[in-house]
Amino acid sequence: MRILFISLLTFYFSIYNVPAQTLDLGSWNILNLKYNPNAKWSVFGEAQLRSLKFYSNFHYYEYKGGINFKVQKNLLLAMGAGSYQTYKEGGDFVVPKNNDEFRLWPQILLFQSIGAFKIEQRYRAELRFTSNGYRNRFRYRLGVSYSFGKNKNNYQPFQISAGNEIFFTNKEPYFERNRMLVAFNYKPSKTTNLQIGYLHQFDYKINDETGRDFLQLGYFIEIFRNKSSNNKIDSDIKDN
């Protein structure tokens, strides 16, 4: 068993070309607020703060907002915009910045239920106005989630989820990033959701963020204008 374990670790680090002794667990913190005026429309705002070491060497923050429109039960359209700031490594918010960016992003979310599992596909196009010039980027995420626990007021309090996302562009080398996430969510009420997860990110020849391993903590607040707009609680994978 020891030989098998060592072999698996060696294989893992060889894939990502990252020496084990340099691997640090960073932090990835999310605060999200969503407001639902009715069953079709919603607006959201989100802030993120990230560090390359465990709550040390803070190098990145973003804030964004947008609007969602539920076309039907399994189809959601969105448009978002935000500011994305990346600093150099070696400390907290080291300047000059690696990237100062304003971003617009339309996206499509598709949902499908298979038994107790919910499958999500997310397609996002990013129009990126960066300090290094304008860029396009395209993202595709495939995820699965499973909710469980005693059903309370049309929602279940616990959820586990996993997802993988690829990032690519219309210019060489085309592939930019791969992001994997495994998370556990707890919903103490209809309006709040707490998340803890492990996220691994691999970057290829880009400078807007460094790929690492992160502990992800999220706090999601969802507000409903009236009871008719929250008769069904969505259990989709949380945004990032």
pLDDT digits (tens, 9 = 90+) for 133-156: 999 999 999 999 999 998 777 789
Position 11 pLDDT exceeds 60: no
| Torsions phi, psi for 12 (to 5 deg) | -60, -50
| Strand duo 94-114 + 117-130: pairing | antiparallel
CB 180 within 8 A of CB 163: yes
The model's confidence at residue 236, banded by pLDDT at 50, 70 and 90, is low
Position 108 pLDDT exceeds 90: yes
pLDDT at 237: 61
Strands (E), 54-132: 56-72, 75-88, 94-114, 117-130
Per the listing, tokens 């990252």 go with 18
pTM: 0.85
Mean pLDDT across 75-96: 96
Report which DSSP code applies to 227: G
pLDDT at 66: 97
pLDDT at 5: 41
Position 74 pLDDT exceeds 80: yes
Strand partners, 91: none
**What percent of the chain stands above pLDDT 90?**
74
Averaged pLDDT score across all residues of the chain? 87
| Dihedral angle over CA of 10, 15, 20, 25, nearest 10 | -130
Lookup: tokens for 58: 């803070």
The model's confidence at residue 24, banded by pLDDT at 50, 70 and 90, is confident
| Torsions phi, psi for 7 (to 5 deg) | -65, -40
Which residue in 197, 179, 183, 185 sits closest to 141, CA to CA? Answer: 179
Distance between CA 43 and CA 218 in Å, rounded? Answer: 18
Helix (H, G, I), strand (E, B) or coil at 199: strand
* Tens-place pLDDT, residues 162-178: 999 999 999 888 999 99
| Torsions phi, psi for 3 (to 5 deg) | -65, -40
Helix (H, G, I), strand (E, B) or coil at 3: helix
CATH of 26-230, one of 2.40.160.40, 1.10.10.10, 2.130.10.10, 3.40.50.2300: 2.40.160.40
* Tens-place pLDDT, residues 113-129: 999 999 999 999 999 99
Position 84 pLDDT exceeds 60: yes
Mean pLDDT across 81-102: 95
pLDDT at 23: 61
Distance between CA 121 and CA 181 in Å, rounded? Answer: 14
